[in-house]
């Protein structure tokens, strides 16, 4: 997995080579947040100044060559609701948390020029691109979203709306807290233990404690759908100091941003889609 050179921004060539896609993930470096030591916090709800968050988002948008108002964000309430993003949603959640799409943790679109975005600090960003239909999906999968199969719900929404076929889609599971650092108890086990992949993605640590590989759980969910290739960033947000980590920083931390869009001017015409 290669990472691009723009300060504070990683790119995902394995997705961007599939079609006219923009696929990125920010680090904590290179921002202006007073609350986080000048870092690149991109979320409004974590005690940072609104002006700093907007300034940081402007830096990211500028580096990616997009308008900040092109972003669309969901509220991220740890549910499993997926929304189809149409052109009129442009800018939802971009300049304030209040305008984010309420109750939504996953977004899909085929509108060129819109960029789906989400905020992360340990939860799993799931990216799906469909080179055939020119559609993308982005999901926020913590343990609750993973239990709610949000990665699968996202692909199923793409299939229902755009006719996406798994064999023509490529997915990537982005940086998230790894098995090395993520310990969970009986509350999490109770909702995930009945999934077939539980033995593969966990290891018992002590009685009633497990280490959980959330990224692997989401990878398994994507593979079950027959998605052609499922890539894995393989980076633990808690181990690597270039990331914010909710667990490592005991809840007082900023957020990185995952971004995924179809580039402007690259879409199919309405006539081109069945």
User: Please, which residue, 176 or 258, has the CB nearer to Zn ion?
Assistant: 176
Q: Is 205 in the site for Zn ion (CB under 5 A)?
A: no
Task: Note whether 181 binds Zn ion by CB under 5 A.
Answer: yes
CB nearer Zn ion, residue 166 or residue 178: 178
Rounded to whole angstroms, the Cα distance separating 62 from 57 reads 8
DSSP state of 268: P
Any contact of residue 203 with Zn ion (CB under 5 A)?
A: no
Q: How many residues bind Zn ion (CB under 5 A)?
A: 6
Nearer to Zn ion, 49 or 242 (CB): 242
- The verdict on 239 binding Zn ion (CB under 5 A) reads yes
Could you tell me which stretch among 36-44, 47-55, 191-199, 234-242 binds Zn ion (CB under 5 A)? 234-242
**CA–CA distance, 102 with 92 (Å, rounded to integer):** 10
User: Mind giving me the DSSP string for 96-148?
Assistant: -GGGSBTT--EEEE--TT-EEEEEESSSEEEEEEETTTTEEEEEEE-HHHHHT
Q: Is 236 a residue that touches Zn ion (CB under 5 A)?
A: yes
DSSP codes, 26-50: E-S-S--BGGGTTB----STTS--H
Q: Which is nearer to Zn ion, 218 or 238 (CB)?
A: 238
φ, ψ of residue 72 to 5 degrees: the values are -135, 125
Stretch that binds Zn ion, among 12-20, 129-137, 193-201, 237-245 (CB under 5 A): 237-245
Query: Which residue do the tokens 């994507």 mark?
Result: 222
Among 93, 137, 148, 178, binds Zn ion (CB under 5 A): 178
Binder to Zn ion among 27, 41, 133, 238 (CB under 5 A)?
A: 238
CA distance 200 to 217: 8
Give the CA diameter of the chain.
Answer: 59
Position 180 contacts Zn ion (CB under 5 A): yes
**Best CA proximity match to 234, nearest among 245, 219, 249, 253:** 219
Nearer to Zn ion, 159 or 248 (CB): 248
Question: Is residue 102 near Zn ion by the rule CB under 5 A?
Answer: no
Q: Give the shortest CB-176-to-Zn ion separation in angstroms.
A: 10
Report in angstroms how near the CB of residue 103 gets to Zn ion at its nearest: 30
Rounded to whole angstroms, the Cα distance separating 61 from 39 reads 16
Which residues of the shown chain bind Zn ion in the complex (CB under 5 A)?
A: 178, 180-181, 236, 238-239
């Amino acid at each position: 997995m290669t990472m691009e050179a723009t300060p504070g921004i990683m790119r995902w060539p394995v997705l961007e080579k599939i079609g006219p896609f923009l696929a990125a993930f920010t680090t904590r470096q290179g921002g202006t947040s007073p609350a986080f030591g000048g870092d690149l916090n991109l979320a409004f709800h974590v005690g940072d100044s609104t002006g700093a968050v907007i300034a940081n988002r402007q830096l990211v948008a500028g580096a990616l060559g997009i308008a900040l108002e092109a972003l669309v964000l969901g509220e991220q309430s740890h549910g499993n609701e997926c929304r189809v993003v149409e052109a009129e949603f442009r800018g939802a959640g971009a300049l304030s948390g209040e305008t984010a799409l309420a109750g939504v943790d996953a977004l899909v679109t085929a509108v060129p020029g819109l960029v789906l975005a989400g905020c992360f600090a340990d939860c799993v960003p799931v990216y799906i691109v469909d080179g055939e239909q020119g559609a993308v999906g982005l999901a926020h999968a913590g343990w609750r979203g993973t239990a709610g199969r949000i990665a699968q719900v996202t692909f199923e929404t793409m299939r229902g709306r755009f006719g996406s076929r798994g064999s023509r889609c490529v997915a990537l599971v982005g940086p998230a807290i790894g098995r090395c650092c993520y310990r969970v108890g009986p509350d999490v086990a109770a909702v995930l233990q009945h999934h077939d992949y539980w033995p593969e993605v966990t290891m018992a640590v002590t009685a009633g404690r497990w280490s959980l590989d959330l990224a692997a759980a989401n990878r398994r969910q994507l593979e079950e759908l027959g998605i052609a290739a499922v890539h894995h960033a393989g980076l633990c947000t808690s181990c690597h100091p270039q990331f914010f980590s909710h667990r490592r920083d005991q809840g007082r931390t900023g957020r990185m941003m995952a971004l995924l869009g179809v580039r402007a001017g690259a879409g199919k015409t309405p006539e081109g889609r069945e």
